[in-house]
Structure 1
Amino acid sequence: MAGLIRREDIDAVRERADLREVVEQYVTLKKAGIGSYKGLCPFHDERTPSFHIRPQVGSYHCFGCGESGDVIAFLQAMEHTTFQETVERLAQRHGIELRYEDGGTGPDKVETGRRQRLLDAHKIADEFYQRCLGIPEAQIGRDFLTRRGFTREHAQQYGVGYAPQGWSNLLGHLRTKGFREDELQATGLFSEGRRGLYDRFRGRLMWPIRDMTGSTVGFGGRRLYEDDPGPKYLNSPETTVYKKSQVLYGIEHAKRHIAKQRQLVVVEGYTDVMACHIAGVDTAVATCGTAFGEGHIKIARRLLSDDGSPAEVVFTFDGDEAGQQAAVKAFNEAHQFNAQTFIAVGPDGMDPCDVRQQRGDEAVRAVVASKTPLVEFVIRRRLREWDLNAVEGRLGALRAAAPVVAEIRDDSLRAAYTRELAGWLGTDVNEVQSAVSGALKAQHSGTAQRAGSAQRQGTPQRSVPSAQQAHGGVGGFAFPRPDTRDPAVMMERQALEVILQHPTRLTAEQWEEIFTVRFSAPAHLAVHDGIRIAAAEASDPRTWVESVRQEVPEPLRGFVSELAVTALPARDEEHLDRYCQEILNRLVELQIQHEKANLLGQLQRMDPQESAEAYRRVNAELMELERRRRALRSAD
């Protein structure tokens, strides 16, 4: 049973992982002041850089879209992995051994080792096939790609390769790399006969199938020779690293575009994915020889995580009967998406690769743009099965289509399609409304019966989270953005920037002073409270900002990252040190002025004759505050 990773080990991962090194795998960075870098944001489209990172404190923030966090959060967002998966991968990359709470364990070391060996074998096979695409024998494969409008550069971009004819080309290659027989058997790259193992893929054009992280986990091979008795497309069998229901071809190329554009386009084949991407539909993926099912829906939900903006899934099925059936199946599962579902059918039933080959890139984009809501497609398909010119036909069509409309969960959309259906049938809208209501009641009754049956059998029912739980809300609690036109508020912000970015520059005395300072802006006050709570972590800049982020209310975590990456107005290290000291001194001076104002108010309310001792004490405090203020001024 996997347990929670210990906090100190997570901090060790944050310390060891270089944020700049990680971000530069995805973003081109340029210097933006001392210790600061900026680039085009990977989370939203922009022309001028607003994405800033500060490696010393391990934080990033986009001033355009507000995305922020540390190295772990960045990789989670880019690779769509869980927190634990991300920490474990970074730990493995940097040689950190993780420990787990409550006696729990992490990934089994033996199993992890086996998995890595399989991934290594697939990586080597991938490189082998790609090299073989250049040998004379592979001319047939190169011609195949050329006829379909793909260049050598396209083949390289998508890792297309060639499996040579013969029984042991890859087998011999992997044996020279030190793989044992049991490891070779487990890869799925080989079949076994009376004489032992032999290459599963022979004389085929090869496409690597990769997971979300870009690791090759399987292959799809296209038949090239007439005398090949195998199927037109042959895929890897399922292995411990390759589950067809959990992998989408092209996901490593499309995932960031899907998340950014809030669109997922599902096509049927490897060449369709390539054609779509080359034509500008870079959100396209394909299933690997299986129907689009529950595992794929989970991937889609992960990539189209609800941020409040509309999302869409577009299916591009063939126009034949099989494609129509696939569309109906997709509709039956559409309620599992957190997105609207559509269908796009190419002209004359052509797939995207044929469309691009015969009509060009723009035509591919036009196919996707001309999408039809999946619910409308299914309704119209049912209507086509009836003779709408006859009364009996219209009645039968209504009975067939009403349950489809009843499936629509959005009340307003259901009402709209009720009116549409009445128009398509040429029937009174009240009659259609009655049929839809009846179908809706029947569905609710069936759901209740299934729930009751499950309860009687002791099967727990899944609860539906509230909107607040689903979106990780905090009761709608929010902070107004501090108005930095007020010089005092601006001073507070500048001080928080210094404290978050350069905690080690503060002396023990300055920390004591900072703890007592009063912040006026509510957001600044909350961040200051977080700093006080997390102060013990200030000795390590790499974990410092994240420690503060965890101690402030959720709505302010992005604001903490913003403060941590804002460029400070300093030319060099000497100037930076002077700036930090000046800002901190001015903040303390501001606090001193507040305290002096309070004490002066007390003096004005006192009678020196009646409260002589108290009067002298307050005067002494005022003199001490003035001494401290002058000392700060002389230090500037």
Structure 2
Amino acid sequence: MIAKTTIDTVFETARVEEVIGDFVQLKRAGSNFKGLSPFSDERSPSFMVSPVKQIWKDFSSGKGGNVVAFLMEHEHFTYPEAIRYLAKKYNIEIEETEQSQEEKAEANEKESMYLVSEFAKRYFHDILLNNEEGQAIGYSYFKERGFTNETIKKFELGYSPDTWDALTKEALGKGYNLDYLEKTGLTIVKEDKQFDRFKGRVMFPIQSMSGRTLGFGGRILGNDKKAAKYMNSPESDIYHKSKVLYGIFHAKQSIAKQDNCYLVEGYTDVIQFHQAGIENVVASSGTALTPDQIRLVNRLTKNITVLFDGDAAGLRASIRGIDLILEEGMNVKVCTFPQGEDPDSFARKNSYDELVRYLDANAKDFIQFKASLLMDESQNDPVKKASLIRDMVTSISKIPDRIQREIYLQETARTMDISEQVLVNTLAQLIQKDVADTGKKQKQEQKEKAFEVVKNENPEQARRIDVLYELERKIIEILLLYGNMTEEFEDVILRANAEGEIEEATEKKEYKVYQRIYLSLQEDEVELANPLFRDIYNDMVNYFHQNESFNTEHYLMHLAPELAQEVTDILMYEEREVLHNWEGQNIIVKQKDQTVGQYVSETILTLRWYLVDRIIEELKGSITSGPDSDNTETLSMAMDYYKLINSFSSKLGRVMSRYS
């Protein structure tokens, strides 16, 4: 178990904008940062990071929290794993305390699969470097590929011994569960035996963006024609090949810095480029490019350069991925290498400067690339050329940005020597078809939801703001932002004047903001109506009573997830668009020239006024009619409450309209 002192050090050191910046491309937006949501498919940034508050909020998915919450949401870390990740990032030594049996039992299945995968990575790497067979076969292979010792260690390359159950025996001997070895695909279990999946292969660990080991790629070195040259881990709870890019962990910072990502096909392509000095490169690991893989890159940059080898036969099929990249609103270029060369071999033969010059000179816009590639195929055949042009316009139709589409149409018309108007008409037809298809889909969805519609709903009532909800939320916001501040408040007291008569007087007194709110609600015997706000309020008051200072990040640490989520929502709410007409709804919004004390007093008075007004409405509803009715007591109580409302209005300095 990680010691509390270590956890405190991690929270004091870690910067939310630095950590999230490893996963999402952030751009300065005033005092905050913004970027594309890593939790949903969006093209307009709605993901906000506040360095001042050290929290983040994703307005598209509703998620939010501190730096640990981000890692738990994005990387599916447990709390201890997130702390360990941050400690490693900031070179903080982890102090351990003894873990109870109950805590050990809490490790879930997914976590166990991660642990098994991490063990396998270390095992394969150790065999490569320190085992006789590993050195003679695996290490020699990597050296022949031109990889240095530093590169081999950086990518933690390994070797799986050419025996049936070397890894399985070692893992079971270390106490790892056979069930998890099977679920990660490391071990194949039959009725009467169990054996290693990657027997006799050099190993490439596949890591997530945060560096977690998800699975492996293994290359066979023998001449067994029956065995697949490359083999990947099977799909599992932790490894989904369509959502992973090989090398993303090592490339993410360089991609964001260079604002470009090179996309290749194989493991060795990535490794060789890194060794040559170009680190902003990832691979689809031989699988067809998927939207999820593209979105991984989209979080870091809008620019992708796809690198193809000189094998023309494979190019036609590979360029289908370009349309997927365009659909995600990204900019794509294509670069091919000379005949017989691939990124791996070309990087091995050329220096860093030569490689950079080649990439800069030969990276073509996708329109130019498609035109040159497909024109060779059409060979001046009018029918094939028409098909080629339609293919290019289809790609352009995938681009979300209208201005970009227009520019690409002009480029295509010039390159293909065809009327721009013809291309515009063709594009319009394609877009119209897409719109029609989308419309049909939406109509079907609306039909399915038709039975869920509430009939005869009053539109005006639906638009009304829940005033009590907003006022209670405002109280939580005040506690979060100003709770520990000391402010001057006016107290109304009763005292005797010179003639001995009792009269009201005011005196100024300093309180902590949280104390003022607590005493005011206690005085009125008010309990917040919203259960979530009530739990947060009670928790915060206890926290203030027990701690001399209030740190938002530390406070979020101990909250239950549902409470932490609501606290984050409240703290980041001001970063979203400001709702209009709050004053018209009698909901106080702090003005720049207003003191915190005034703001607190107005909010509490407004809540009191609202609650008294509801009591008056209940009293009015209890009035009976008829010759025997006696409503004297009820009317008297109502009049007393009306006097209270006048008092509130006087203190607020304005006549307030009715809520009801």
Pair in the same fold by TM > 0.5: yes
For 1:182 and 1:512, locate their aligned partners in 2 and report how far apart those are by CA, in whole Å.
56
Structure-2 residue corresponding to 1:474: none
Match of 1:145 among 124, 130, 142: 142
For 1:81 and 1:408, locate their aligned partners in 2 and report how far apart those are by CA, in whole Å.
31
Tell me if the contact between 1:406 and 1:437 (Cα under 8 Å) persists in the aligned partners: no
Structure-1 residue corresponding to 2:552: 543
Q: CA distance change for structure 1 residues 160 and 187 in 2, over 3 Å: closer, same or farther?
A: same
Aligned runs of 1:5-404 on 2, under 5 Å? 18-22=10-14, 68-69=51-52, 73=56, 81=70, 84-85=73-74, 89-90=78-79, 113-134=108-129, 135-138=131-134, 139-193=136-190, 195-227=192-224, 229-304=226-301, 311-321=302-312, 323-348=314-339, 350-369=341-360, 370-388=362-380, 397-404=388-395
Q: CA distance change for structure 1 residues 89 and 394 in 2, over 3 Å: closer, same or farther?
A: closer
Structure-2 residue corresponding to 1:601: none
Greater mean alpha carbon deviation, residues 393-402 or residues 205-214: 393-402
- Point out where structure 1 has 5 or more consecutive residues left out of the alignment: 1-11, 28-41, 52-64, 96-108, 305-310, 462-498, 517-533, 558-587, 592-636
Instruction: Tell me the SS of whatever aligns to 1:384.
Output: helix
For 2:5 and 2:257, locate their aligned partners in 1 and report how far apart those are by CA, in whole Å.
28
Tell me if the contact between 1:258 and 1:303 (Cα under 8 Å) persists in the aligned partners: yes
For 2:304 and 2:68, locate their aligned partners in 1 and report how far apart those are by CA, in whole Å.
20
Tell me if the contact between 2:16 and 2:54 (Cα under 8 Å) persists in the aligned partners: no
Q: CA distance change for structure 1 residues 17 and 500 in 2, over 3 Å: closer, same or farther?
A: farther
Tell me if the contact between 2:486 and 2:511 (Cα under 8 Å) persists in the aligned partners: no
1:452 corresponds to 2:440: yes
Q: CA distance change for structure 1 residues 14 and 156 in 2, over 3 Å: closer, same or farther?
A: closer
Q: CA distance change for structure 1 residues 391 and 248 in 2, over 3 Å: closer, same or farther?
A: closer
Tell me if the contact between 1:19 and 1:70 (Cα under 8 Å) persists in the aligned partners: no
Q: CA deviation at 1:175?
A: 0.7
For 1:117 and 1:317, locate their aligned partners in 2 and report how far apart those are by CA, in whole Å.
38
Q: Deviations over 1:374-428 (max 9, x none)?
A: 243224333333244x76676565455444444444333333333333333334x
Aligned runs of 1:530-569 on 2, under 5 Å? 539=547, 540-543=549-552, 550-551=570-571, 554-555=574-575
Q: CA distance change for structure 1 residues 73 and 365 in 2, over 3 Å: closer, same or farther?
A: farther
- Calculate the TM-score normalised by the size of structure 1: 0.58
Q: CA deviation at 1:163?
A: 0.9
Tell me if the contact between 1:276 and 1:364 (Cα under 8 Å) persists in the aligned partners: no
For 2:180 and 2:384, locate their aligned partners in 1 and report how far apart those are by CA, in whole Å.
61
Q: Deviations over 1:202-232 (max 9, x none)?
A: 2221111112221112111112223574222
Q: CA deviation at 1:553?
A: 6.3
Letter in 1 for 2:201: R
Q: CA distance change for structure 1 residues 510 and 18 in 2, over 3 Å: closer, same or farther?
A: farther
Letter in 1 for 2:126: R
Q: CA deviation at 1:233?
A: 1.2
Q: Deviations over 1:513-562 (max 9, x none)?
A: 9999xxxxxxxxxxxxxxxxx996765432279879955764599xxxxx
Instruction: Tell me the SS of whatever aligns to 1:18.
Output: helix
Instruction: Tell me the SS of whatever aligns to 2:204.
Output: strand
For 2:132 and 2:298, locate their aligned partners in 1 and report how far apart those are by CA, in whole Å.
44
Q: CA deviation at 1:88?
A: 6.5
Q: CA distance change for structure 1 residues 360 and 449 in 2, over 3 Å: closer, same or farther?
A: same
Instruction: Tell me the SS of whatever aligns to 2:214.
Output: strand
Tell me if the contact between 2:68 and 2:79 (Cα under 8 Å) persists in the aligned partners: no
Match of 1:436 among 398, 410, 424: 424
Q: Deviations over 1:57-112 (max 9, x none)?
A: xxxxxxxx9961556649999999577457973366679xxxxxxxxxxxxx9996
Tell me if the contact between 1:167 and 1:199 (Cα under 8 Å) persists in the aligned partners: yes
Instruction: Tell me the SS of whatever aligns to 1:316.
Output: strand
Instruction: Tell me the SS of whatever aligns to 1:541.
Output: coil
Tell me if the contact between 2:113 and 2:183 (Cα under 8 Å) persists in the aligned partners: yes
Q: Which has the higher contact order (CA 8 A, sep 6+)?
A: 1
Tell me if the contact between 1:259 and 1:303 (Cα under 8 Å) persists in the aligned partners: yes
For 2:386 and 2:293, locate their aligned partners in 1 and report how far apart those are by CA, in whole Å.
37
Q: CA deviation at 1:283?
A: 1.9
Instruction: Tell me the SS of whatever aligns to 2:194.
Output: strand
Instruction: Tell me the SS of whatever aligns to 1:333.
Output: helix
For 1:330 and 1:442, locate their aligned partners in 2 and report how far apart those are by CA, in whole Å.
19
Instruction: Tell me the SS of whatever aligns to 2:368.
Output: helix
For 2:375 and 2:69, locate their aligned partners in 1 and report how far apart those are by CA, in whole Å.
41
For 1:83 and 1:215, locate their aligned partners in 2 and report how far apart those are by CA, in whole Å.
13
Structure-2 residue corresponding to 1:421: 412
Letter in 2 for 1:440: A
Tell me if the contact between 1:255 and 1:303 (Cα under 8 Å) persists in the aligned partners: yes
Q: CA deviation at 1:130?
A: 0.7
Q: CA distance change for structure 1 residues 421 and 272 in 2, over 3 Å: closer, same or farther?
A: same
Q: CA distance change for structure 1 residues 403 and 17 in 2, over 3 Å: closer, same or farther?
A: same
For 1:552 and 1:251, locate their aligned partners in 2 and report how far apart those are by CA, in whole Å.
30
How large is the RMSD of aligned CA atoms in angstroms?
Answer: 4.9
Q: CA distance change for structure 1 residues 434 and 188 in 2, over 3 Å: closer, same or farther?
A: same
Q: CA deviation at 1:505?
A: 9.4
Letter in 1 for 2:431: Q
Instruction: Tell me the SS of whatever aligns to 1:208.
Output: strand
Q: Deviations over 1:475-510 (max 9, x none)?
A: xxxxxxxxxxxxxxxxxxxxxxxx999958999966
Tell me if the contact between 1:189 and 1:201 (Cα under 8 Å) persists in the aligned partners: yes
Q: CA distance change for structure 1 residues 300 and 393 in 2, over 3 Å: closer, same or farther?
A: closer
Tell me if the contact between 2:264 and 2:281 (Cα under 8 Å) persists in the aligned partners: yes
Instruction: Tell me the SS of whatever aligns to 1:217.
Output: strand
Q: CA distance change for structure 1 residues 191 and 393 in 2, over 3 Å: closer, same or farther?
A: closer
Q: CA deviation at 1:316?
A: 1.3
For 1:510 and 1:88, locate their aligned partners in 2 and report how far apart those are by CA, in whole Å.
44
For 1:204 and 1:66, locate their aligned partners in 2 and report how far apart those are by CA, in whole Å.
44
Percent identity reads 25
Instruction: Tell me the SS of whatever aligns to 2:263.
Output: strand
Instruction: Tell me the SS of whatever aligns to 2:336.
Output: coil
Tell me if the contact between 1:141 and 1:162 (Cα under 8 Å) persists in the aligned partners: yes
For 2:235 and 2:76, locate their aligned partners in 1 and report how far apart those are by CA, in whole Å.
27
Letter in 1 for 2:345: D
Q: CA deviation at 1:144?
A: 1.9
For 2:433 and 2:239, locate their aligned partners in 1 and report how far apart those are by CA, in whole Å.
40
For 2:50 and 2:443, locate their aligned partners in 1 and report how far apart those are by CA, in whole Å.
43
For 1:514 and 1:337, locate their aligned partners in 2 and report how far apart those are by CA, in whole Å.
47
For 2:296 and 2:223, locate their aligned partners in 1 and report how far apart those are by CA, in whole Å.
37
Q: CA distance change for structure 1 residues 514 and 375 in 2, over 3 Å: closer, same or farther?
A: same
Q: CA distance change for structure 1 residues 331 and 237 in 2, over 3 Å: closer, same or farther?
A: same
Aligned runs of 1:505-524 on 2, under 5 Å? none
For 2:224 and 2:429, locate their aligned partners in 1 and report how far apart those are by CA, in whole Å.
58
For 1:276 and 1:93, locate their aligned partners in 2 and report how far apart those are by CA, in whole Å.
30
Q: CA deviation at 1:365?
A: 2.8
Instruction: Tell me the SS of whatever aligns to 1:234.
Output: strand
